[in-house]
Amino acid sequence: MGITELLLLAVGLSMDACAVSICKGLAMKKATLKEGAICGIWFGGFQALMPLIGFFLGSLFAEAIEAFDHWIAFGLLEFIGINMIREAFSKGEEQEGSGADLSFKTMFLMAIATSIDALAVGISLAMAGNVNIFWAVALIGVVTFLLSAAGVKIGNIFGSRFEKKAQAAGGIILILLGIKILLEHLGVIG
């Protein structure tokens, strides 16, 4: 697998994490470089770790994870999205909503939800046979880091202009992303 294919793979895998990062930025009053780096490290780290795990587990694990990976991603994204919408419409608080939450628990769950498909990619890379897995995961991690960190800022630019509506939109996007993942894995959409 050449550099072009690996770069396209990295960009494709990072899209879910980038979308979630944009949603995080939507919910923040002000996004700093620190918040962008936090999202980038979580998402980039997990997007690199999961294919590495998948690669070493190989095809033995492929059937087991494919049976339920989409349900886990769906459930986590739906839960987080619903909480973001609930926070957007709750009365009277001037605090950042749960969508802006960068706590260990929240980021851990989101990083898992957005990187489960990367586990299957790692298994596929193992079957391809001619891939330097360390180069591949480094590229996936760096691309995801950069796109996620940028996503926080992009989301924040729109979020500061549209406040609560932007947070609700972020929740809706996460819910739709979860539905899309589920429908793709069930073969309803291509």
Distance of CA 187 to CAs 65, 181, 182, Å?
16, 10, 9
Comparing 190 with 183, the larger pLDDT belongs to 183
What are the tens digits of pLDDT across the range 142-179? Answer: 999 999 999 999 988 887 666 677 667 767 877 887 78
Task: Report residue 189 as tokens.
Answer: 């959409």
Is 117 a domain residue? Answer: yes
Share above pLDDT 90 across residues of the chain, in percent, rounded to a whole number: 26
Is 130 a domain residue? Answer: yes
91: pLDDT strictly greater than 80: no
Is 190 a domain residue? Answer: no
What's the number of domains the chain is made of? 1
Written as one letter, the residue type at 116 is I
Is 4 a domain residue? Answer: no
What are the tens digits of pLDDT across the range 44-86? Answer: 999 999 999 988 887 566 566 667 777 877 777 787 778 768 7
Is 151 a domain residue? Answer: yes
Is 3 a domain residue? Answer: no
The total of other beta-carbon atoms located within 10 Å of residue 57's CB is 16
The domain containing residue 105 runs over which residues?
Answer: 12-25+33-89+98-185
Tell me the pLDDT of the chain averaged across its residues. Answer: 81
**Separation CA 14–CA 143 (nearest Å):** 7
**Residue ranges in 58-103 assigned as alpha helix (H):** 62-66, 69-89
115: pLDDT strictly greater than 80: yes
Q: Which residues are CB-contacts of 133 (< 8 A; sequence separation ≥ 6)?
A: 51, 52, 55, 122, 125, 126
Is 164 a domain residue? Answer: yes
95: pLDDT strictly greater than 60: no
Q: Name the residue among 99, 107, 104, 106 with its Cα closest to residue 156.
A: 99
Angle at 99 between CA 7 and CA 162, to 5 degrees: 95
Task: Report residue 142 as tokens.
Answer: 């760096």
Is 110 a domain residue? Answer: yes
